[in-house]
Chain A
Amino acid sequence: MMRIVLISSIAFSAGSLAWGYKMLGLEAVASAALIGGALWLLALWQRWHWFAAVALVGVVLLAGTGIVLGAPLSWMLAGAMFALAAWDLTEFRRRVAIAFRDDDVRGIERRHLVRLSLLMLGGLLLASIAMLVRVKLSFEWLLLVALVSALSLTQFIRWLRDS
């Protein structure tokens, strides 16, 4: 089950990016995204666990570039989210691989998949709301919002850690 979800996530991630770039007319980048996806699958087969992090960074950069170039946000967002799911599942599989055969691995896997699905759903919901609410901001305002956000995020993380 876990393997199917993981492979599907990698395939959907690469496919979404490729489709978005194809719609943009950049067929070469679309092909590169597909090759990257194939490489990720190969890494999964070869148990190159480090590759998942590299692939995640690559997908996010590709998605960001796509958005800047004018590719459809939904496909880029889908690519990044599936990459996040694949990265999470790769790490999870590595952690669970050392479990003994009598351990309730299936139960842990089920809980993890439910949690991940909820997170992805929440992320998608949040992104959808953000896409619907469009506010035009000047650059100065944007800079201020970014600074305030970064500061609040830092304070929030510190508060969470302390508590």
Chain B
Amino acid sequence: MSRALLLNTLIGVVFVAGVASARGELFVLALPFLLYLLISLLEAPADLRLEVDRVLSAERVDANMPATVTVRVKNHGKAIAEVLVEDAVPPNLKVVTGARRHVVWLGAGERWEFSYAVAGPRGRYTFGGVSVTGGEGSGVFGMARQFKTAGQLFVLPQITRVRQVAIRPRRTRVYAGSIPARLGGSGTEFFGVRAYQAGDSPRVMNWRASARHPKQLYSNDFQQERVADVGIVLDGRERANLYAGHHSLFEHSVLAAAALCEALLQQGNRVGLLTYGGYLEWSLPGYGKQQRERMLHTLARAQVGASSVFSGLDHLSPRMFPVESQIVLVSPLMRGDVDALVPLRARGYQVFVLSPDPVAFEQRLLATSREAGLATRLARLERNLLIRRLQRAGILVLEWDVADPFELAVQPALRRLRYPRLVGRYV
């Protein structure tokens, strides 16, 4: 029952009782209530003529770093005795300092603002409107209004610094970089010996070979180092990432993908990112800081998704990546993935799979029992077989037990990746 209705009813009952009993004193009893109601009605604002806007200190922050939200309110109407201003904070974001809800007295034309800080895990957060409830001092005739305000915050994934990722794509681009290009020229690593050409520096001359052939001079050739095209694929399939209920490997995959994006872009490569989950989200290949921002935004938005269309890796079309480029797949891997990955290798792509280990991950979630042990052994055998089949097809697989920190477990291995040779026929 609203407060105004309660007062109205009380006044009405006392009036009726006064008339019925013909006692003037009862009217007197109703007078203070009547005055209270009328003054409240007179003071009640006809409309909340407010201007509300919200400013965020940053559009992007690192995971669990605070961002300050400032809400500004200006009263264009008459004074409002009690204003409750409440900002809608997206779920998963936590208010770390200050408060998102305030009660204030707003004079006519007065401007007022408040700030609070929020922090949260990786994600894209869209702020809703600011709700304002205002009324006269007694709160009998309150009025609520929702003010639409813009506000979006990207909480970027944590980035682990990786110095070098030793990729070896078949084809490189024309620009100088750090990826061995399988071409002779200027570089640091020995590539071969060729006949001396006019202008060769005496430093590059191969004196031993020249000594063996008195009528011919020879020079050393070095392997050219260039930038390459790299496509990073982040596997966001629910079936591959969720284990034992709601425990997810996906955050580890995002961490790995972010580290790889950062490192490969730092090396000067042209890098693209594809999130493969409930739908496909694609960051077109590019260089430099802008591309880094684009990819981090894509990673911030990335979520695990379930889709019957993308349940397998069949839609990982080769047309998404430049011919003979490097593909880096970050995925826990599933049984049927071999059939999608091997054809990529057959088309000339160099494929590297960084795989957070789901067996070890799930094992830690299970209670210790004989059945769990047996199931783990079987799952391990299946996974080893899967990895072996990928390796036989010339795909490099790097397993990562997520119990170990990325920088300790994966970073050293990334510096010296040894691509397996194609062995026999894929079966």
Contact = CB atoms under 8 A, between A and B. Distances in A.
The reply to whether chain A is a binding partner of chain B is yes
Interface of A: 53, 56-57, 60-61, 63-64, 67-68, 73, 76-77, 80-81, 84, 88, 91-92, 95-96, 98-100, 102-105, 107-108, 111-112, 115-116, 119-120, 122-124, 126-127, 130-131, 134, 137, 139, 142-143, 146, 149-150, 156-157, 160-161, 163
A56 B17 contact: no
B28 A77 contact: yes
Given A67-B29, A127-B28, A112 B35 contact: no
A80 B105 contact: no
Given A60-B10, A103-B103, A127-B32, A98 B84 contact: yes
Contacts of B23: 67-68
The 9 closest A-B CB pairs, nearest first, are A123-B32, A100-B99, A99-B103, A115-B137, A130-B28, A67-B25, A146-B19, A126-B31, A73-B25
A73 to B, nearest CB: 5
Given A53-B1, A56-B10, A84-B32, A134 B24 contact: yes
A61 B14 CA distance: 8
A111 B17 contact: no
Interface of B: 1, 3, 6, 10, 13-19, 21-29, 31-33, 35-36, 38-39, 41-42, 46, 81-82, 84, 98-99, 101-105, 114, 137-139
A60 B29 contact: yes
Contacts of A111: 81, 105, 137
Nearest to A143: B19
A150 B42 contact: no
Contact residues of B: prevailing secondary structure: helix
A100 B32 contact: no
Contact of A112 (B10, B31, B84, B137): B137
B28 A64 contact: no
B14 A60 contact: yes
A42 to B, nearest CB: 22
Contact of A76 (B10, B29, B84): B29
A57 to B, nearest CB: 7
Interface of A is mostly: helix
A86 to B, nearest CB: 13
A120 B1 CA distance: 24
Contacts of B14: 60, 64
A112 B6 CA distance: 21
B39 A119 contact: yes
A99 B104 CA distance: 8
Contacts of A100: 98-99, 101-103, 114
Contacts of B138: 88, 91-92, 115-116
A143 B138 CA distance: 32
Contact of A108 (B1, B29, B82, B98): B82
Contacts of A124: 32
A68 B21 contact: yes
Contacts of B99: 100, 102
A139 B15 CA distance: 14
A81 B29 CA distance: 9
A125 B6 CA distance: 23
Given A60-B10, A100-B98, A91 B32 contact: no
A56 B6 contact: yes
B33 to A, nearest CB: 6
Contacts of A92: 138-139
Given A60-B14, A100-B99, A67 B31 contact: no
Given A60-B10, A60-B29, A100-B114, 11 more contacts: A56-B6, A68-B17, A73-B25, A98-B101, A99-B101, A112-B81, A130-B27, A130-B28, A146-B18, A146-B19, A149-B15
Contact of A95 (B6, B24, B84, B114): B84
Contacts of A137: 24
Contact of B26 (A64, A108, A139): A64
B1 A127 contact: no
Contacts of A98: 84, 101, 103
Contacts of A103: 102-104
Contacts of B19: 142-143, 146
A146 B84 contact: no
Nearest to B141: A161
A122 to B, nearest CB: 5
Nearest to B21: A68
Contacts of B16: 146
Contacts of B29: 60, 63-64, 67, 73, 76-77, 80, 127
B144 to A, nearest CB: 13
Contacts of B104: 103-104, 108
Contact of B32 (A61, A73, A81): A81
A163 B3 CA distance: 22
Given A100-B102, A139-B22, A84 B36 contact: yes
Contacts of B31: 123, 126-127, 130
9 contacts: A53-B6, A57-B6, A60-B14, A64-B14, A68-B23, A100-B101, A103-B104, A127-B28, A157-B41
